């Protein structure tokens, strides 16, 4: 899946979640529960904050390589992300004035190289779903959320024990 498509799915989930929150916020208690619940992107072995795909893609990829398939730009992107992380670390740990000017320059050059990379050369795994996480186990409230039409009923079990709730993303 292309990066833009992944971001579109995340945005669709966010939009659906916003609608669910406003539909079901009928009391002070439910409003608070809904406000404290949040979305995560769940892969087989990783749970990722949706904001990290746009705000922190480099670190997200480095610590969760399974979100990428080995496409055209895969190796090159990992190489750039690794190099970027090293340059960043060096700059952070450099305090002497002249040396720091040099690491700041390296960092700028690195950023330019990273930004030149075309994210459309990456293939993101489509083996994920976007789920809700709750601030506590309040099954009566969770059951009400599960019954909302913007919840994916094919991936969400309706029984009183399950707390896995999957958002529709299309
Ligand atoms: Zn169940």
Taking the centre of ligand 1 as the mean of its atom positions, its distance from the CA of residue 154, in whole angstroms, is 12
Residue 13 CB contacts under 8 Å (≥ 6 apart), including other chains: 39, 50, 130, 167, 168, 169
Nearest residue to 53 (alpha-carbon basis) of 106, 125, 153: 125
Q: Are both 98 and 136 inside the same structural domain?
A: no
Q: Are both 83 and 158 inside the same structural domain?
A: no
Taking the centre of ligand 1 as the mean of its atom positions, its distance from the CA of residue 103, in whole angstroms, is 53
Q: Are both 15 and 42 inside the same structural domain?
A: yes
What CA–CA distance (Å, rounded) separates 11 from 130?
A: 11
Taking the centre of ligand 1 as the mean of its atom positions, its distance from the CA of residue 95, in whole angstroms, is 55
Q: What are phi and psi of 71, to 5 degrees?
A: -95, -175
Q: Are both 130 and 113 inside the same structural domain?
A: no
Q: Are both 59 and 137 inside the same structural domain?
A: yes
Question: pTM higher than 0.85 for the full model?
Answer: yes
Indicate the number of domains in the chain. Answer: 2
Of the chain, the end-to-end C-alpha distance in Å amounts to 14
Q: Are both 7 and 45 inside the same structural domain?
A: yes
Q: Are both 1 and 60 inside the same structural domain?
A: yes
What pLDDT, on a 0 to 100 scale, did the predictor assign at position 163? 93
Residue environment code for 42-57, b if the CB has 16+ CB neighbours within 10 A, otherwise e:
beeebebebebbeeeb
pLDDT in tens, 88-138: 999 999 999 999 999 999 999 999 999 999 999 999 999 999 999 999 999
Residue 4 CB contacts under 8 Å (≥ 6 apart), including other chains: 120
Q: Could you tell me the residue range of the domain that residue 82 belongs to?
A: 72-121
Q: Are both 16 and 87 inside the same structural domain?
A: no
């Amino acid at each position: 899946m292309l990066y833009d498509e992944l971001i579109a799915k995340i945005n669709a989930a966010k939009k659906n979640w916003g609608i669910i929150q406003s539909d079901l916020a009928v009391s002070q208690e439910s409003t608070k529960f809904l406000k404290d619940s949040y979305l995560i992107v769940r892969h087989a072995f990783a749970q990722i904050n949706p904001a990290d795909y746009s705000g922190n893609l480099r670190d997200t990829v480095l610590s969760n390589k399974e979100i990428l398939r080995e496409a055209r730009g895969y190796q090159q992107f990992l190489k750039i992300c690794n190099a970027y992380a090293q340059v960043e670390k060096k700059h952070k740990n450099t305090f002497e004035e002249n040396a720091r000017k040099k690491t700041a320059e390296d960092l700028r050059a690195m950023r330019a190289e990273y930004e030149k990379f075309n994210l459309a050369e990456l293939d993101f795994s489509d083996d994920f779903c976007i789920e809700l996480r709750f601030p506590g186990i309040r099954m009566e409230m969770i059951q009400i959320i599960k019954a909302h039409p913007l919840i994916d009923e094919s991936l969400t079990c309706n029984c009183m024990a399950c707390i896995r709730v999957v958002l529709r993303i299309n």
